Amino acid sequence: MTDAAPRRIRLCADDYGISEGVNRAIRELIAHRRINATSVMVVGPAATRDEIAALIDVARDNNCAIGLHVTLTAPFHPLTMHFRPLEGGAFLPLGALLRAATLRRLDREMIGAEIAAQLAAFAALVGRAPDYADGHQHVQLFPQVRDAFLAAVKSAAPRAWVRQCGRVAASWRSGGNLKATLKTGLLDTLSRSFRRRCARAGVACNPAFAGAYDHSRATDFGAAMAGFLDRLPDGALVMCHPGFVDDTLRRLDPLTDQREREYAYLASDDFPRLLTAQNVALA
């Protein structure tokens, strides 16, 4: 045992609003104080008034932050009428959006208007501005998107913090998985520029990040979580994607069964034991 004060982290469940099964799993974990933040995807089919009201109730009783999960990738559709570019009426797929952003082919005004619309939709559903903002598939870090994102957040939610996705050196481990190594390396690179922009804009961000791994493999999430928490500094954020699989989720997202494995671990007695062993508390 240690006498040191525990490191306090945010454990954030992404994708509230993507499906009722995901929503229900997230609310159950909030109720049992196994997570303390969740990001709402206002363009998701399950971001209904009833589902949001249920989230507000459980979050209020269990000290859980509610953020906006800015969504700009397929298969979801924009809220703004004239948003471009689109593919089949939906946002571009992730790879196409990243290429367009890297080549500076996006219209920052259109991106900013869509993010502003999603912030307004959040405020209409929740009754207030978000506690924080992040991005589905990390779009907030992309060139062109990042400046529009920070400007929109600072205007509509000046007290909100935003998610950067750079790791601490101790967490630079991927278990030999090339796909995970490439993904986390890209997030580190994009986050360096994003953090500089946050500082210039006067927008707060988390000091460190963990939670990215190869979702296409049947990963042992308990072992992954132990690695995520290792030496994370106070105030850091860990991303997770718990959920119950339903037909809506299968239609919209390839991340299915792994969500149930994440939920099972976070709901188990093993998770609080890990927090105690690593002297970590949920902020």
Measured in residues, the chain has a length of 283
Query: Residue 178 has what pLDDT?
Result: 44
How far apart are alpha carbons 236 and 252 in whole angstroms?
29
CA distances from 147 to 101, 142, 191, 266 (A): 12, 9, 13, 34
The interaxial angle of helices 108-126 and 145-156, nearest 10 deg, is 40
Domains in the chain with CATH codes: 7-282 (3.20.20.370)
pLDDT of residue 172: 43
pTM: 0.94
pLDDT score at 4: 86
Q: Say what the pLDDT of residue 141 is.
A: 98
Mean pLDDT by 10 residues, the chain (283 residues): 85 98 98 98 98 98 97 98 96 97 96 98 98 98 98 98 84 50 85 96 97 85 95 96 98 96 98 97 89
pLDDT digits (tens, 9 = 90+) for 174-226: 445 545 567 788 999 999 999 999 999 999 999 999 999 987 777 899 999 99
145, containing H or E segment = helix 145-156
Q: Is 137 exposed, middle or buried (0-12, 13-18, 19+ CB in 10 A)?
A: middle
What span, in angstroms and rounded, lies between the C-alpha atoms of 72 and 169? 30
Q: How many alpha carbons lie under 13 Å from residue 146 in its C-beta half-sphere? A: 24
Describe the chain by its helix, strand, coil percentages, rounded to 5: 45, 15, 40
Write the DSSP assignment of 213-240 as a string of letters.
--TTS---HHHHHHHHHTTPPTT-EEEE
Question: Residue 214's pLDDT is what?
Answer: 84
